[in-house]
Amino acid sequence: MMKYVYQFSEGNKEMRNTLGGKGANLAEMTSLGLPVPQGFTVSTEACTRYYDDGRKISEDIEKEIMENIEKMEKVTGMKFGDVENPLLVSVRSGARASMPGMMDTILNLGLNEEVVETLAKKSGNPRWAWDCYRRFIQMYSDVVMEVGKKYFEQLIDEMKEKKGVTQDVELTADDLKELANQFKAEYKSKIGDDFPTDPKEQLMGAIKAVFRSWDNPRANVYRRDNDIPYSWGTAVNVQMMAFGNMGDTSGTGVAFTRNPATGEKKLFGEFLMNAQGEDVVAGVRTPQPIDQLKEVMPEVYDQFVEICHKLENHYRDMQDMEFTIQDKKLYMLQTRNGKRTAAAALKIACDLVDEGMISDKEAVAMIDPRNLDSLLHPQFDAAAIKKAEPIGKALAASPGAACGKVVFTAEDAKEWASRGDKVILVRLETSPEDIEGMKAAQGILTVRGGMTSHAAVVARGMGTCCVSGCSAINMDEDNKKFELAGKTFHEGDVISIDGSTGNIYDGAIPTVDASIGGEFGRIMDWADKYRTLQVRTNADTPDDAKRARALGAEGIGLCRTEHMFFESDRIAAIREMICSDTVEQREKALAKLEPMQQGDFEALYEAMEGDGVNIRFLDPPLHEFVPTEEKDIEQLAKTQGKTVDEIKAIIAGLHEFNPMMGHRGCRLAVTYPEIAAMQTRAVIKAAINVSKKHPDWNIVPEIMIPLVGEVKELAFVKKTVVETADAEIKAAGSNLKYKVGTMIEIPRAALTADEIAKEAEFFSFGTNDLTQMTFGFSRDDAGKFLDSYYDNKIYENDPFAKIDQVGVGKLVKMACDLGKQTRPDIKLGICGEHGGDPSTVEFCHNVGLTYVSCSPFRVPIARLAAAQAKIKADK
């Protein structure tokens, strides 16, 4: 029979898949002899079964859970539901990959009126007993019954006001008892039933709620962003409670063995006396820095520091731990590899190598490539920031610079951002429901909360700038305004925040590109040592090319030549070309474009210093170039010597019902071979010129024909290219070599890749179009319906961001195999947006591509992901 429940004493850290990260580490800490309140883990397989069985916990699993409660009772000497000696437990989620704050937790489970009365008397600490009970009712109602936190928070606020106090800890036992009764009444009014008194019923309700929380909207969004499959499920940890709210000799805290923002090797964390875990994370009270625990409880502090060292050495990585002190006794509730900023990740990895703890290969493997993105983002312009006067300062929770319009709700952040506004989300404090708004914002500013508050942790993970805990702000969320430094800010007002200093500024401060070096360079060098997949860039302009080269691009995998035509001085020539009636007229217009293209190509060759430069010939439907404004149409009519009506007729003639599948790509060159001829001349002449200047560079231009679906159309265009190129080379007395290849971006091209390879010397997978045409939906409009596909679990990811390995991937693989059959040394690359996505990079490595090509800022991500793919494959 399948085993679904494991005591902590039965597991170890290798059992993440079954026990989840938290469960596996609780088991590991138990076996290391650390003070862990004992308990058991209900496995991820039980979660999968819960869903398979129609969101039910089957009788056999329920039985197994209750048997494990009995085992717990033996270990702890307490009894579940007992009045005299009750066993109280926490119920927490714990997936394979950590998903901080995304799923649910219930504390103090096992309490009812009778138990709490006895506990209050026996412990001599009625305040604690009633505090536990009111917390339990509150959490259970919220998490299990989904009543909503706000009703309970309102009751607490009313009680504090009535008693004339500001802090929860100032409420007395009687106040808390009254609150518990009010909570139960609230529960009954919302649910219709009395609050459950049977601990078994409470436990099953809580476990179900944690399983259910695997599928809550914020967890689904988090998984999508972090490549965590839905099929994994979460485990549930049932653990004996350790009470941090027993009075002034108790407390709770969170700590990292190294600073998660900077990587500095120094214990970093916060604690709160007389509190339970959620108080620290929720940011309701402002916690004390961990160092101060040394003064408050020196022995406990020393013991904790020793455990930190032990855990870091054991896991060979920075640890993020939760602990509770119950009446001067320390308990460890969790350890995990800590989330960190990109800068901290690089520093920690390098330091661990220097400390002899890990190898450079392990350093490369431990960094999340997606994290690097935040390092590459803008910072404030140094001169401008020096002159600027901050209007407030709070915690520098997540680095980076952000400037934008103030919004007050996550929904507004999402909506404004979708309209193209840059926004700063300003909140009293954030909660997991805010995740989508946080993602849409440039930066996050909160009034409450410490460095380990929800806002801080989540923003750091996302690489979004965050300043937290600005208590100087006088907030009025309901009326969408706040006051700071004597000024009232309304929705839409612009502010700037600095996530590296915690400073807040009125108005916009200019930002500059990030500069990288030091540890970044070391990690990148190590990555380059291990990877075999090359990384090129998609660059259309000389500036893009230079930026990408500085970030390590080993060539250009895609230059979209049409992007060179959009500037105002060039668009006129291309419009002239489009409006031409004869080949001669068209050639005359093209002749104006030729030197411009040639100049840009020369700059691209220069930037790449002899590495491959792949020039893709004109691809978009021509209507993209024609004017829409009346005055531009009139201007064009004038330069073309035509009437406005004639120009309008030409524009109308370019209309297509489905332009993405219309007259574009190589079809343009089939209709107008003179376009391909002009582009060929520009490519070849540029290469010859730059080769003359740099005789040591071996420039071999790569000419790429887009949107091919039939070998004969490629052969047709190639003929023009070869004839033109050979004539140019001959005329220049050069011996330049060049290659002609194609994009594989139409399913038919993938299916007939053996034929296509007879003409194509290289393939580059255009996975944007290939995805569009394989799925049969538009790359520009899929956003309209993808959300309902996620909600209904039809897709887990955006297929335009992360390659669909099952379908599109099958075509890629097939095309690689067929292409190699015809031309064993064929060069294979990818240049769709997917080329910078780490999971796609791994796929590309595994199918044997020569290179990936991605936008300049993603080059380092791809370099690291390529190294990780190789290291993983070698394992």
Residue 728 interacts with which of Mg ion, ligand PEP, none, CB < 5 to 8 Å by class:
none
Nearer to Mg ion, 745 or 759 (CB): 745
Q: Work out the burial of residue 591: count CB atoms within 10 Å of its CB; fewer than 13 is exposed, 13-18 middle, 19 or more buried.
A: middle
Residue corresponding to tokens 């949107």: 707
Shortest distance (Å) from residue 15 CB to Mg ion: 45
Given the residues 470, 831, 844, 854, the one annotated as active site:
831
User: Binding site for Mg(2+), residues?
Assistant: 745, 769
Minimum distance of ligand PEP from residue 862's CB (angstroms): 15
131 binds, among Mg ion, ligand PEP, none (CB under 5 to 8 A by kind): none
Minimum CB distance to Mg ion smaller for 271 or for 765:
765
Compute the least distance from the CB of residue 192 to ligand PEP, in Å.
55
Nearest-approach distance from CB 707 to Mg ion, in angstroms: 6
593 contact, one of ligand PEP, Mg ion, none, CB 5-8 Å limit per kind: none
Distance from C-alpha of 420 to C-alpha of 433, rounded to nearest angstrom: 22
What's the distance, CA 433 to chain centroid?
A: 16
Q: Which residue has the tokens 């049977």?
A: 198
Distance of closest approach, residue 830 Cβ to ligand PEP, in angstroms: 8
Which sign does the torsion angle of CA 169, 174, 179, 181 carry?
positive
Q: Distance of alpha carbon 857 from its chain centroid, rounded? A: 15
Tell me how far, at minimum, the Cβ of 790 lies from Mg ion, in Å. Answer: 25
Among 312, 745, 759, 804, binds Mg ion (CB under 5 A): 745
Copy the structure tokens of residue 125.
């600490």
Binding site for ligand PEP (CB under 6 A): 558, 560, 619, 745, 766-769, 831-832
DSSP type of residue 512 = E
Cβ at position 678, least distance to ligand PEP in Å: 19
**Cα distances (angstroms) measured from residue 323 to each of 303, 312, 334:** 12, 15, 7
> Between the CA of residue 816 and those of 203, 583, 813, 845, 846, what are the distances in Å?
54, 38, 5, 12, 12
- The long-range contacts involving 303-311, CB below 8 angstroms and separated by at least 24 positions, are 303/330, 304/255, 304/330, 305/267, 307/34, 307/332, 308/255, 308/257, 308/267, 309/257, 310/32, 310/34, 311/29, 311/32, 311/34, 311/257, 311/335
Binding site residues, as ranges?
560, 616, 745, 766-769
Select the binding partner of residue 560 from ligand PEP, Mg ion, none (C-beta < 5 to 8 A, by kind).
Answer: ligand PEP
The pair of structure tokens assigned to 665 is 């790509």
* DSSP letters spanning 15-30: GHHHHHHHHHHHHHHH
620 binds Mg ion (CB under 5 A): no
Q: Which of the following is catalytic: 308, 350, 454, 834?
A: 454
Stretch that binds Mg ion, among 345-353, 418-426, 690-698, 742-750 (CB under 5 A): 742-750
Binding residues for substrate: 560, 616, 745, 766-769
The pair of three-digit structure tokens given for residue 96, joined into one six-digit string: 């394979």
User: Which residue lies nearer to ligand PEP by CB, 203 or 558?
Assistant: 558
Contact partner at residue 831 from ligand PEP, Mg ion, none, CB < 5 to 8 Å by partner kind: ligand PEP
Minimum separation from the CB atom of position 138 to ligand PEP (A): 51
Pick from 495, 20, 478: nearest CA to 239: 20
Q: Are 521 and 375 in contact (CB under 8 A)?
A: no
Whether 831 is catalytic is yes
767, interface contact from ligand PEP, Mg ion, none, CB < 5-8 Å by kind: ligand PEP
Q: Please give the sequence-ordered ranges of beta strands (E in DSSP) within 257-376, or none if there are none.
A: 268-273, 288-289, 319-326, 329-337
Burial of 529 (0-12, 13-18, 19+ CB in 10 A): exposed
Of Mg ion, ligand PEP, none, which one sits near residue 104, judging by CB under 5 to 8 A according to partner kind? none
454 is catalytic: yes
Strand order of the β-sheet with 494-498 is 392-393, 503-506, 494-498, 401-407, 423-427, 443-446, 465-468, 395-398
Query: Which of positions 85-114 make contact with Mg ion (CB under 5 A)?
Result: none
In the complex, which residue's CB is closest to Mg ion?
A: 769
Rounded to a whole number of angstroms, the minimum distance from the CB of residue 314 to ligand PEP is 45
To ligand PEP, the closest distance from the beta carbon of 605 in angstroms equals 21
Nearer to Mg ion, 498 or 769 (CB): 769
How far apart are the C-alpha atoms of 580 and 583, rounded to whole Å?
8
Q: How far is the CB of 665 from Mg ion (least distance, A)?
A: 7
Q: What are phi and psi of 420, to 5 degrees?
A: 95, 5
Number of Cβ within a 10 Å radius of residue 582: 8
For the stretch 183-190, contacts whose Cβ atoms lie closer than 8 Å and that sit 24 or more positions apart, written own/partner, are 183/134, 183/137, 183/138, 183/141, 183/152, 183/155, 184/137, 186/141, 186/147, 186/151, 186/152, 186/155, 187/137, 187/141, 187/145, 187/147, 190/141, 190/145, 190/147, 190/151
Nearest residue (CB) to Mg ion, 242 versus 708: 708
**Residues 761-790 within binding reach of Mg ion (CB under 5 A):** 766, 769
H/E run at residue 505: strand 503-506
- How many other CB atoms are there within 10 angstroms of residue 504's CB atom? 24
User: 560 has which bridge partners?
Assistant: 616
Site stretch for Mg ion (CB under 5 A), options 176-184, 477-485, 655-663, 743-751: 743-751
- Residue 833 is a binding residue for Mg ion (CB under 5 A): no
For the stretch 325-328, contacts whose Cβ atoms lie closer than 8 Å and that sit 24 or more positions apart, written own/partner, are: 325/244, 325/249, 325/250, 325/251, 325/252, 325/297, 325/300, 326/242, 326/243, 326/244, 326/246, 326/250, 327/246, 327/247, 327/249, 327/250, 328/249, 328/250, 328/297, 328/299, 328/300
- Residues interacting with Mg ion, by CB under 5 A? 745, 766, 769
Tell me the catalytic residues.
454, 831
